[in-house]
Amino acid sequence: MYFVLKRKTLVTAISAVLVLCMTALVISGISSHQAVMTSTDVNWGLSFNSSDGIPTGNASAAKLKESNAYYVGDTSQKKIYLTFDAGYENGYTAHILDVLKKHHVQATFFLVGNFIQTAPELVKRMVSEGHIVGNHTMTHPDMSSISDMTSFQKEISGLEKLYKDTTGKEMLKLYRPPQGKFSEENLKMAKEMGYATIFWSLAYVDWYNDNQPTKEQAFDKLLPRIHNGAVVLLHSTSQTNSDILDELLTKWEEMGYHIAPITELISA
């Protein structure tokens, strides 16, 4: 019995270490020599080792563009792109919209079906105030595990329909893979559906409701690592993001950055 319990404990410990390692890989980055996309499943990751401050993705910008996918914009201009992922409404979106309006910023909200179903008035407000709503899938699954077009299309088209039923408008064809999990085949399927896939070049761990970062922890990530052409990912479920957004936008403006609509990234 002691051997069985000890073995279970060991397996649990190893599993926990693997989860921590995978999280560190996605959030903290990977080595730059891995920046080649393969046909296998991939977790989007970044390395911040470059001398110019521009992070390296685990798929190069050139390789991604072949599949109409992007993670960074023109690095010669002090232009950044602000995006929010929203799987559900957590009470902070209205304030976030107030701050964006104050700063005359157009953001992109990548929404999941649950958000549109439970907070339709906020979605309508996003649209009426000039923000872009993108596709974060209907149910937020691991899309890299989906290899057939029918299942992939169901997640994407289901959200398109829900958005149109709610707002009366067609959704712009912008797609963000849930959790940043993707495969080369996923990108091809999105492109076949007319979508551009949008990753990010700056994010931080802001999605744990019961373990929110402090203001100082947030600024330690979002200020030193901001860079030309940055696609910034924040979560609208985060109280910290709601609390700091006004000051954050002010600081970025003081640093000379202009927040541009994500459509400029694609058209460029």
Q: Which residues are catalytic?
A: 85, 235
Residue 150 neighbours by CB under 8 Å, 6+ apart: none
Cα-Cα-Cα-Cα dihedral sign, residues 159, 114, 190, 171: positive
Helix (H) / strand (E) containing 228: none
Per the CB < 8 A criterion, the answer to whether 80 and 229 are in contact is yes
Determine phi and psi for 42, rounding to 5 degrees: -135, 140
- Radius of gyration of the chain from its Cα atoms, rounded to whole angstroms: 19
- Residue 82 has which token pair? 């602000």
Range 238-247 burial, b when 16+ CB lie within 10 A, else e: bebbbbbbbe
